[in-house]
Structure 1
């Protein structure tokens, strides 16, 4: 069989994966805090028909370059591009946007049922997640949670924990440094806690786990110690926090449609390679007639 046919198949597979990545980006164009994906290609190993040689003798023959036939392409990487998304003003007090580096920390379960502490071991991906989606809500007990019901992790009384706004509070707000203040039913201003951010040396190393969440991996590079990695917004390399706004997806539709067209044309070109290879095989079969 002709090598070009298998080479064309590898190209078709690669462009199909690229189209999957592009379609996912387009589907999440309005997802809060979404970071677009990008596929890169790498060539497969080449078949060497003749190796390289150096000069022979005393100027009798010069060196020759290797002769190789490529065997197709492969998916080199699928990257998460963590560029800044546009900020959309909502004027809702629990809509939070980060301008710069850093992510919100959300956790699923508490250490004790009656306390505010949460299990925030950064090496336990089942307990803790990170997100750029800042649309938060209050649950029945007054704790700040995300749309999945996970607790927003902040600093409460000097310790990491859940932020609670007591029942009967007249109003509340989130400051630029993440401090959550509320007006009690007696009219006094009280502090409920402080929203904190986690920062990473390689945010592209995080793993998407759905629900706008990312899980920690061994290549993300969580900055800080295991028990001291939460940063005040604007400090420790983290970005600024804005209340009453949300970070939108960083997907550029014009760019994605362009990538979709190039993917389609690349796929079509590889199908032409297979068609042409098939016609050559047909000619070989017809030689016997």
Structure 2
């Protein structure tokens, strides 16, 4: 009878432990990246009253089964359930969710830890950190902006090397749009002609404007149908001040070139008189190209391009309104150049690469978030603050980590992983646990009443 009481006590203990697990799960129903737990039970050591025996043909007696009395129940395991939690949209670019397996790697002087809670912020030194101040680990970029996937390091976004984008000098410009042949501004009697500009940057990041004019000549090149002459007018700085006046005092060294040949004042843009499409630029309709170059601009300032290529192949001569414009670079933007820029924002891609956006329009990689994977993630040990640490049964972290794409997963910015606690299951388990606790307490009560009856026999 005493055995039944102790069996009941063991039942109370394990159901209380199970209730502790359930209570912790419910308490963390809104904890970002929380992984719920479950308790499992096992029966305890048995007292054998009679062992089993085999049948005996000689005595014609049958076999007997063992007779045992169990001594209660114990906790078999408390397992961490590593199923992925639902997604919660936050629209905060510093909130990141892991789609698939793996953990973020974070750490400080106390060691390296792992978490599924992708709640990050940028500290005063430009590092990505957890709310507790642990730095997010990842891979840096080299001088060429390429990711170096080696030993993980704290991921610094606003480093001195990454805070600015260097200026780049312009090497190409494209002129496009339509010039109407009968536009009165092209008339040879008009002293200004049709004026348009192209802008470009020097290697220091200063912006300049080159002013051109288009005109119909009274005779010679540029006077025939489908022809219009091109002239350099002025070179201006970013404040509109005239640096070079090509009309009144043209420097002999600065020239419009077709290959190695100077074009001078005989530069003509040719159009097909049937289709109105561009057919070439040069000083002779038999030897034309799509573009010209303005050579020796560096005589004005060393940082100016030595050879600025201007592409006119996108121009047309249709009836209608004239609207000639220009853009820096070719159709893919190559050769456009840019001013110096500062880091204005950054985004985290699905591959974990952090891409910086600069005020001058440049984008470049700032680093990549590394992911840690384990052969047995359920073997990780919780240490609080949404953190796990490796154990002998989880597998070791190699210090390098994985590219999230190599695991078949992805990172989603602006989203957090919610707790994987299922409240309907937890409440059901709570009810079952309560009934189990009540039943075990009844064992103790009934055993006590039986002992009272036994003691009462002496009265």
Same fold (TM over 0.5): yes
Query: For structure 2, which runs of at least 5 residues remain unmatched after alignment?
Result: 142-147, 164-341
Q: Which residue of 2 aligns with 1:205?
A: 379
1:277 is aligned to 2:436: no
Q: Which residue of 2 aligns with 1:161?
A: 153
Q: Where in structure 2 are the equivalents of 1:7-26 lying within 5 Å?
A: 7-26=7-26
Correspondent of 1:140 among 124, 128, 148? 124
Decide whether the 8 Å contact of 1:105 with 1:153 is kept in 2.
Answer: yes
Q: Where in structure 2 are the equivalents of 1:245-264 lying within 5 Å?
A: 245-264=415-434
SS at match of 2:441: helix
1:195 is aligned to 2:369: yes
Identify which range, 158-167 or 269-278, moves more after superposition: 158-167
Decide whether the 8 Å contact of 2:56 with 2:63 is kept in 1.
Answer: yes
Decide whether the 8 Å contact of 1:197 with 1:238 is kept in 2.
Answer: no
Query: For structure 1, which runs of at least 5 residues remain unmatched after alignment?
Result: 110-125
Correspondent of 1:233 among 399, 404, 413? 404
Q: Which residue of 1 aligns with 2:31?
A: 31
SS at match of 1:287: helix
1:244 is aligned to 2:418: no
Correspondent of 2:112 among 107, 118, 128? 128
Q: What's the CA shift for 1:201?
A: 1.1
SS at match of 1:169: strand
Decide whether the 8 Å contact of 1:204 with 1:220 is kept in 2.
Answer: yes
Name the structure with the higher helix share: 1
Figure out how many residues of one structure are paired with residues of the other and give that number.
269
CA distance in 2, matches of 1:218, 1:31: 27
Q: What's the CA shift for 1:238?
A: 5.4
SS at match of 1:257: helix
Q: What's the CA shift for 1:185?
A: 4.8
Decide whether the 8 Å contact of 2:157 with 2:367 is kept in 1.
Answer: no
CA distance in 2, matches of 1:39, 1:11: 13
Decide whether the 8 Å contact of 1:169 with 1:184 is kept in 2.
Answer: yes
CA distance in 2, matches of 1:281, 1:238: 64
SS at match of 2:411: strand
Q: What's the CA shift for 1:240?
A: 1.7
Q: What's the CA shift for 1:61?
A: 1.1
Q: Which residue of 2 aligns with 1:56?
A: 56
CA distance in 1, matches of 2:37, 2:345: 39
Alignment TM-score, normalising by the size of structure 2: 0.57
Q: Which residue of 1 aligns with 2:260?
A: none
Name the structure with the higher strand share: 2
Q: Which residue of 1 aligns with 2:204?
A: none
SS at match of 2:61: coil
Alignment TM-score, normalising by the size of structure 1: 0.90
Q: Which residue of 2 aligns with 1:216?
A: 390
CA distance in 1, matches of 2:383, 2:429: 25
SS at match of 2:402: coil
Q: What's the CA shift for 1:59?
A: 6.1
CA distance in 2, matches of 1:271, 1:173: 58
RMSD: 1.4
Q: Which residue of 1 aligns with 2:289?
A: none
SS at match of 2:38: strand
1:83 is aligned to 2:83: yes
CA distance in 2, matches of 1:102, 1:52: 51
Q: Where in structure 2 are the equivalents of 1:72-111 lying within 5 Å?
A: 72-109=72-109
Correspondent of 1:170 among 344, 353, 358? 344
Higher gyration radius (CA)? 2
